[in-house]
A and B are shown apart, each in its own frame.
Chain A
Amino acid sequence: DTGVSQDPRHKITKRGQNVTFRCDPISEHNRLYWYRQTLGQGPEFLTYFQNEAQLEKSRLLSDRFSAERPKGSFSTLEIQRTEQGDSAMYLCASSLAAPPEQYFGPGTRLTVT
């Protein structure tokens, strides 16, 4: 299966700790997206990469959040000084320029205690 993969699948951390998530997109996709989803809600857009360039960041992405895609392949999302409100499912997706359908990974579920 050459779909989008995310690691880890689950992360439990204590408030104030830093966490980092990894996303490996479908290899030929140059566009990569991060979303956050809380219980009972749809995914909310966080940030977008085209190749290695980060082209948009949501206002949801506070200064504690940083994302990188250093070689235009995998991406990492880091949350510094985690807060309980950061508890959510973090989803990664990738796509081609066209067609615009996005392919999602299984997500990383973050629990901040």
Chain B
Amino acid sequence: SQQGEEDPQALSIQEGENATMNCSYKTSINNLQWYRQNSGRGLVHLILIRSNEREKHSGRLRVTLDTSKKSSSLLITASRAADTASYFCATGFSGGYNKLIFGAGTRLAVHP
């Protein structure tokens, strides 16, 4: 079973617009990670935020984490056609290893 749920399931925007994807999860976590998947490159790690962090930036990516609401958001600013992909949140847990539980993903389409 999957821990997280992404919202929306699909998102269609124009190049240059911002894209926001949300993720909710059910149990306590150690960290939350976002991955991108497209047919050309498979699953690629984007950014990790730890449970004691509230916000993190990496280039055009901004991730927030609200552990009280068990939710996270991923913002992609100034989107490009190359950002077209599926985006997954994945929760990681403490306890000595790094098993990830993925959500069902958001399919993002960025139109030129």
Contact = CB atoms under 8 A, between A and B. Distances in A.
A73 interface: no
A95 interface: yes
B2 A100 contact: no
B104 A91 contact: no
Interface stretch (B14-22, B38-46, B66-74, B77-85): B38-46
B99 interface: yes
Contacts of B33: 100-102
Contact of A44 (B31, B42, B102): B102
Nearest to A55: B97
Interface residues of B, number: 23
Interface stretch (A18-26, A64-72, A75-83, A104-112): A104-112
Interface size class of A (residues with CB under 8 A): 20 to 34
Contacts, number: 60
A50 B31 CA distance: 20
Contacts of B90: 42
B98 A100 contact: yes
B104 A41 contact: yes
B109 to A, nearest CB: 15
Interface of B: 2, 4, 30-31, 33, 35, 42-45, 48, 88, 90, 92, 97-105
5 contacts: A42-B103, A45-B100, A55-B97, A100-B48, A102-B100
